[in-house]
Amino acid sequence: MGVLVILICIFLILGLLLIYNSFWFGGNYSNDNNLVWINSFECGFLGENSIIDSFSINFFILLVFFVIFDLEISLLLNIPYQLINFKSLIYYSVFVIILVVGYLVETYKGFITWEE
């Protein structure tokens, strides 16, 4: 019990030391008043303009679509190991049917169209 308390105290002290150092050394000490350099630089965009205004909902829907199919692939890889259990086969079949219906709905609504 004593070792656990000592380890908790050590991690607490190290955490507080890291927080103190980030506040002490994390400030902007340059004389340049250009606030662009304070913002993070990502994907070639500077932080002057709002990137949220140019966000497309179609890309987000496509992202969700690919994440769901990635999950499907990881779940369907277990089928050869679980074919002994008939109940799991029913669950996998229902899961695949729901995914196919979702794919057909997204295709019908026009979310999966590529501009040429």
Domain boundaries, the chain: 54-116
* pLDDT bracket for residue 12 (50, 70, 90): very high
User: CA neighbours within 13 Å on the CB side: how many for 90?
Assistant: 3
Q: What does the pLDDT read at residue 46?
A: 53
What is the percent of the chain where pLDDT is above 90?
3
Average of pLDDT values for 72-82? 74
Q: Which token pair is 80?
A: 């050869």
Distance between CA atoms of residues 88 and 75, nearest Å: 11
Distance between CA atoms of residues 7 and 4, nearest Å: 5
**Contact of 47 with 39, CB cutoff 8 Å:** yes
Distance between CA atoms of residues 100 and 108, nearest Å: 12
pTM of this structure: 0.40
Q: What does the pLDDT read at residue 23?
A: 74
Average of pLDDT values for 89-99? 81
Distance between CA atoms of residues 46 and 8, nearest Å: 41
Q: Each residue of 34-68: pLDDT tens digit? A: 555 555 555 555 555 555 556 667 777 778 778 87
Average of pLDDT values for 77-88? 70
User: CA neighbours within 13 Å on the CB side: how many for 17?
Assistant: 6
